[in-house]
Amino acid sequence: MKGIFTALMCSFDEEGKINEKGLREMVRNNIDVQKVDGLYVNGSTGENFLISTEDKKRIFEIVKDEAGDDVTLIAQVGSLNIDEAVDLAKFTTDLKYDALSAVTPFYYKFDFDEIKDYYNTIMANVDNQMIVYSIPALTGVSMNLEQFGELFENEKIIGVKFTAPDFFLLERLRHAYPDKLLYSGFDEMLLSASVLNVDGAIGSTFNVNGVRARKIFELAQAGAVEEARAVQKETNDLIAAILDNGLYPTIKEILKHEGVDAGVCRKPMKPLTEAKKARAHDIAKKYL
């Protein structure tokens, strides 16, 4: 369960339907070209919050069928609808996903007892293990050291996808819970997290930049911080260019440049203009 995990994208056609051929190509590209250790399936990068339960299940099936046991698979099953979250947890456990993950419940101002009950309810229904997905900037849910500790009292909750720039809290978590899995969630801050001895990273840009991500992680583990910093600089040049052009559609266009049938993003995300498509190809040529 340690290493570099791609937050997997999904290929959709112009009508917003799953492009199975393209999704399979994305899976294989991550495994065979980017050489990642695992896939984080149906997270926000996969446009999870824009698709139906049936589409989520189909994506889980296709990814498992294509990846098999080649890499570790984590199923993001989090939902504001607890019944859907439990249903997806059961479904992916039956598919033999290696672990589950769930974003903290958002939008409504849930208190911590409600958040804890959400995770405990999901895990009471399955024989699997859970990675908490903490991304305060998008959910509005911030948890402190003691609250993470309360979640970890459930032995099935084995770690956190930590997508926050709070390195003080990250260091405190690493010190307090050495046996729990901590994954960095900000690609542009991978080096900073790696020197705090995280167990791995889960990232969107690993769909096209997984090889560099591994270099950063392994160099930091070896104490070669200056070398790792140089690779992080290259990575951040790429990330800055992608963000300036439009995150998800630009990654998909770069994948197309690399021969992967990445499709388009679902509405209300807008497609790239012809100028931005050309810019995405220029980014691929310059930075990859």
What residue numbers does the annotated binding site for aceneuramate cover? 44-45, 163, 185, 187-188, 204
Question: Residues at the annotated binding site for pyruvate?
Answer: 45, 202
Q: Measured between alpha carbons, how far is 63 from 46 in angstroms, rounded to an integer?
A: 12
Contact 265, 277 (CB under 8 A): no
Q: Distance (Å, rounded) from C-alpha 80 to C-alpha 200?
A: 27
Question: Catalytic annotation on 285?
Answer: no
Give the 3-state secondary structure of residue 178: coil
Summarize the annotated binding site as residue ranges: 44-45, 163, 185, 187-188, 202, 204
Which one from 161, 180, 215, 252 is the annotated catalytic residue? 161
Residue 276 φ then ψ, to 5°: -75, -30
d(CA 201, CA 204): 10
Q: Which of 133, 183, 248, 287 is catalytic?
A: 133
Q: Rounded to a whole number, what is the largest CA-CA distance in the chain? A: 52
For this structure, is 215 an active site residue? no
Q: Cα(first)–Cα(last) distance of the chain, in Å?
A: 27
Name the residue among 15, 34, 8, 5 with its Cα closest to residue 265. Answer: 15
Q: How far apart are CA 286 and CA 157, in angstroms?
A: 41
Q: Give dist(CA 100, CA 119) in Å, integer.
A: 11
Helix, strand and coil in the chain, % to nearest 5 = 55, 15, 35
The Cα angle at residue 218 between residues 214 and 221, in degrees rounded to 5: 145
DSSP three-state, residue 70: coil
Q: Tokens standing for 242?
A: 């992608």
Annotated catalytic residues are: 133, 161
